[in-house]
Amino acid sequence: MTEMLLAIFLGIVEGITEWLPISSTGHMILFNRFLGSDEGFLSTDVFLYVIQLGAIMAIVTLYFKKLNPFSPSKSKEEKKDTFNMWGKVIIACLPAAVIGLLLNDLADRFENEYVISATLIIYGIAFIIAEKRKRAAKYTSISAVSYTTAILIGIFQVLSIIPGTSRSGATILGAILIGCSREIAAEFSFFLAIPVMFGVSFLKLVTYDGVITPSQWLVLGIAMAVAYAVSMVSVKFLTGYVKKHDFTVFGWYRIALGLLVILLTVILPRITA
C-alpha cells in the first residue's frame, strides 16, 4: 500500500514536470531520495522512464488530429504538411537516438544530487538569459521550421541525457535560441517526446536485468494512469501560459530548487555531522 501511494505521488510529479522545463526525471530522483524510496522498484530506470508513457499518451490524445496524417477531415495539403511535420520530428530525434544509445550506461552515473542541482541551476540561468535577449521569432509555425533547424533542435535534446537538464527544457531552450516562438518551441518539444520516450522506455525494458512482478506492473500501470491524467492538465496549462508569458519564472524555479537541493544534501549534512 505504501508503494502504491508513492507511485501515485510520483505519477503526479511526472505529469506536472514532464512538460514544464524543470526536469521530470530530476524531480523523480530527488523525491525518491527524500521519501526514502530510492532502493526499491520505484527508483529503477524501468519505473522512472516507462512511467513517461502515460504522459506521452496525453500528448497523443490532445493532439491526435494534428498528429494524424490520415485524418479524413484534412485536405490533401494539410495531410502533406502533417507528413512533413513527422519528417522533421523523426530527423530531430536522430541525434538523441544515436548518442543516447552510446551513452545510455554512462548517463546512469550522473544520477546524483550534485549533478541534478548543477544542471537545474545552469539551465535556469540559461532560460533567464535567453528570455532577456529574446528577439522577434523567425518561426511561428512548425511548417516554417526547416529540416536543418529541426536537427539543431534535436541536438539540444541530446543534452537531456544528463539528469536534471529536462528534455522539454533543453528542446524549448534550443528552439527559442534558434528563433522559434515560445508556442512553437513548446509544441515541437511535445511532438519530439513521442518517439524519444517510446524508444527510451523500450530500451530500459529490454536492458532491465531484473524481473518485473505482477504487483510491480500494477504499480507502474497506476502511476502511468495518474501521469496521463495530470499531463492532460499541465499541457493545457503550459500552452495557455506561453501565449502571454515567457519562461523566466521556470528559470528562477530551477535556480531555487537547485540551491535547495545543495542545502539539503550538502550543507545541512555537514552542519549536523
DSSP string covering 81-144: HHHHHHHHHHHHHHHHHHHHHHTHHHHHTT-SHHHHHHHHHHHHHHHHHHHHT----SBSSGGG
Give buried/exposed letters for 195-210 (b at 16+ CB in 10 A, else e): bbbeebbebbeeeeee
pLDDT 10s digits, 127-177: 999 998 877 889 999 999 999 999 999 999 988 888 888 889 999 999 999
Task: Kindly state the average pLDDT of the residues 214-240.
Answer: 95
Predicted pLDDT at 49: 87
Structure confidence at residue 38 (pLDDT): 66
Mean pLDDT of 111-122: 88
Query: Taking a C-beta distance cutoff of 8 angstroms, is the pair 18, 51 a contact?
Result: no
Grid coordinates in use for 175? Answer: 528552439
Distance CA 4, CA 10 (A): 10
Exposure string for 74-85, b = 16+ CB within 10 A, e = fewer = beeeeeebbeeb
CB-CB neighbours of 270 under 10 Å: 7
What is residue 107's predicted lDDT score, i.e. its pLDDT? 65
Give the per-residue pLDDT at 144: 94
Nearest to 66 by CA among 157, 142, 156: 142
Residue position matching grid coordinates 504538411? 81
Categorize the per-residue pLDDT at 242 as very low, low, confident or very high, splitting at 50, 70 and 90: very high
pTM: 0.87
* Res 98: pLDDT: 83
Average model confidence (pLDDT) across the chain: 89
The region of weakest confidence among 5-9, 32-36, 46-50, 102-106 is 102-106
Of residues 86 and 270, the one with the higher pLDDT is: 86
- For the cut 70, the answer to whether the pLDDT of residue 106 exceeds it is no
| pLDDT above 80 (res 204) | yes
- Kindly write down the DSSP assignment for every residue of the chain, as one continuous string: -HHHHHHHHHHHHHHHHTTTTT-HHHHHHHHHHHHT-SSSGGGSHHHHHHTHHHHHHHHHHHTHHHH-TT-TTS-HHHHHHHHHHHHHHHHHHHHHHHHHHHTHHHHHTT-SHHHHHHHHHHHHHHHHHHHHT----SBSSGGGS-HHHHHHHHHHHHGGGSTTS-HHHHHHHHHHHHTB-HHHHHHHHHHHHHHHHHHHHHHHHHH--S---HHHHHHHHHHHHHHHHHHHHHHHHHHHHTTT--SHHHHHHHHHHHHHHHIIIIIHHHHH-
